[in-house]
Structure 1
Amino acid sequence: MNKCPICGNPFPCLDHAASTTTSKAARNRVVLAAAVAAVLLTVLSGCNEKHSEPFKDAPRSGTDNGAPADVIRMPDGFSNAATKCDHGNRLYIAYHGDSPYAAVAVVAQDPTCR
């Protein structure tokens, strides 16, 4: 036979029926809030901002080519690209969507990079 969790009397315990219902409702609210927090944490931690990452992938030589790159904008469905000169070589870099890796092409000793 089931007993009241508060006083131990057999069910239905009319003295504590409201408090057990309230505790179930409160527990449901806590479980719902925890589930919402877990979903929000998962979604927000999955955001990728590769364009604002600091230099953290390799040691740096101290030589900084901070000159702006020429951006080549392509129509929707195609990857945009950027090009710039570095030490006489022309670099072409293209990301595909939000991929963390880029395609890189180098034109060695490009005559337009003087």
Structure 2
Amino acid sequence: MRRIRASVGAAALVLTVGALLAGCSQEYQDERGKGDAPVEGGKGEDTPAEVYNMPDGFGNLATKCVGHGFRAYVTTNATGPSNVQVVEDKSCVG
């Protein structure tokens, strides 16, 4: 009986790890490994962002209105994830 429980536990662990790894798909990665999430219908809101270039070694900053009444600030980082802040901005009306 212990062997059956151990086998079931091991199978559950393997399935859980497999599901987690499947969620980390590389399907949307571009050649630099910085892919975007899929957008329903392949169309999204593509207005350009304002980009502020920082000196080499520092993340650049991009900002634009997102949704209605909000502004997003995003920094790039060559060695890790980008930083994102979304704040209320009354000048962002749509």
| TM-score normalized by the length of structure 2 | 0.52
How many residues align? The count is 62
Identity of aligned residues (%): 35
Please list every run of at least 4 consecutive aligned residues from structure 1 whose deviation after the TM superposition is greater than 2 angstroms: 57-63
Equivalence for 1:90: 71
Aligned equivalent of 2:91: 112
Closer, same or farther in 2 for the Cα pair 1:71/1:50, shift >3 Å? farther
In 2, the alpha carbon distance for the partners of 1:69 and 1:59 equals 18
Q: Runs of 5+ in structure 2 lacking a partner?
A: 1-30
Q: Are 1:76 and 2:59 counterparts?
A: no
Alpha-carbon separation, structure 1, partners of 2:42 and 2:32: 25
Shift of 1:113: 1.1
Ranked by relative contact order (alpha carbons within 8 Å, sequence separation 6 or more), the top structure is 2
SS of the residue 1:50 aligns to: coil
Aligned partner of 2:90: which letter?
Answer: P
Displacement of 1:76 in angstroms is 1.8
TM-score by length of 1: 0.44
The alignment partner of 1:111 has SS state of coil
Deviation at 1:77, TM superposition (A): 2.1
Contiguous gaps of at least 5 residues in structure 1: 1-47
Q: Which residue of 1 aligns with 2:32?
A: 49
